[in-house]
Amino acid sequence: QEQLVESGGGVVQPGRSLRLSCAASGFPFSRFGLHWVRQTPGKGLEWVATISYDGGQKYYTDSVKGRFTISRDNSKNSLFLEMSSLRGDDTAIYFCAKEQGWLNGLYNYYLDVWGKGTTVTVSS
Amino acid sequence: AVQLTQSPSSLSASVGDRVTITCRASQGINSALAWYQQKRGSPPNLLIYDASSLESGVPSRFSGSGSGTDFTLTISSLQPDDFATYYCQQFNSYPLTFGGGTKVEIK
């Protein structure tokens, strides 16, 4: 069974750093791109970052560029999000999600497996 | 960035009703659109990809249509398990973006 489990969330003061992890199981991890998506309590979803299957390509939403770094360790089936200079508006539930991958000869980027999320609260 | 506008933001419907949710993109995104269902306390669940392809395991009462800028998610006969919030997401270009969501409530 394909599974993603996030960890590393918590309460952190503004300006500090936090590292989120996402442990994967049940699928060939190194063959799929991965994403971080966040959700403010009671509000909608916001895409945060994407990393390609081999880590060679990374994309970020504008509000986190220069502050957040997405990375992966394919030998440990793990995805990470290093967050620095945290602000109040970074407070959210952070989900990791996996791309669908190869389907009928085409690679699909849609997010078919999601973790349950880890909560980050930025507050003094 | 491509903006996705969902409408309505909420709706009330009864079991058995046909429900339609729309998602409009600020620029053309071909068919690179997904629909998700999210229930309280749970992550989103992929329903539709490529605008109209049904994800494996998703009931056939869900369907998607559209291309370019206008997309629709239809639930042909609303079931008790379908009361949730629905989101569209575009994958045509970075930054990836989500619609604001449509909450489907019991009438």
Any CB–CB contact under 8 A between B100 and chain A? yes
User: Nearest CA to B102 among B57, B47, B56, B31?
Assistant: B47
**Nearest residue on chain B to A5, alpha-carbon basis:** B43
The answer to whether residues A94 and A18 touch, using CB atoms and an 8 Å cutoff, is no
Share of chain B above pLDDT 90, in %: 98
Q: Does A44 touch chain B (CB under 8 A)?
A: yes
**CA distances (Å), B40 to each of A8, A58, A120, B19, in order?**
22, 30, 18, 20
- Residue A94: closest C-alpha in chain B: B43
Contacts of B44 in chain A (CB under 8 A): 37, 45, 95, 111, 114
Average pLDDT over residues A40-54: 92
Query: Does A110 contact B at CB distance below 8 Å?
Result: yes
Phi/psi at A107 (nearest 5 deg)?
-90, 125
Chain A residues closer than 8 Å to B91 by CB:
109-110
CA distance A44 to chain B (A): 6
Q: Do B95 and A114 touch (CB under 8 A)?
A: no
| Mean pLDDT of the region A67-94 | 98
Confidence at A44, pLDDT banded by 50, 70, 90: confident
pLDDT tens digit string along A91-105? 999 999 999 998 888
- The mean per-residue pLDDT over the stretch A45-53 comes to 97
What is the model's pLDDT at position A42? 73
* Inter-residue contact A20 to A86 (CB < 8 Å): no
pLDDT in tens, B51-86: 999 999 999 999 999 999 999 999 999 999 999 999
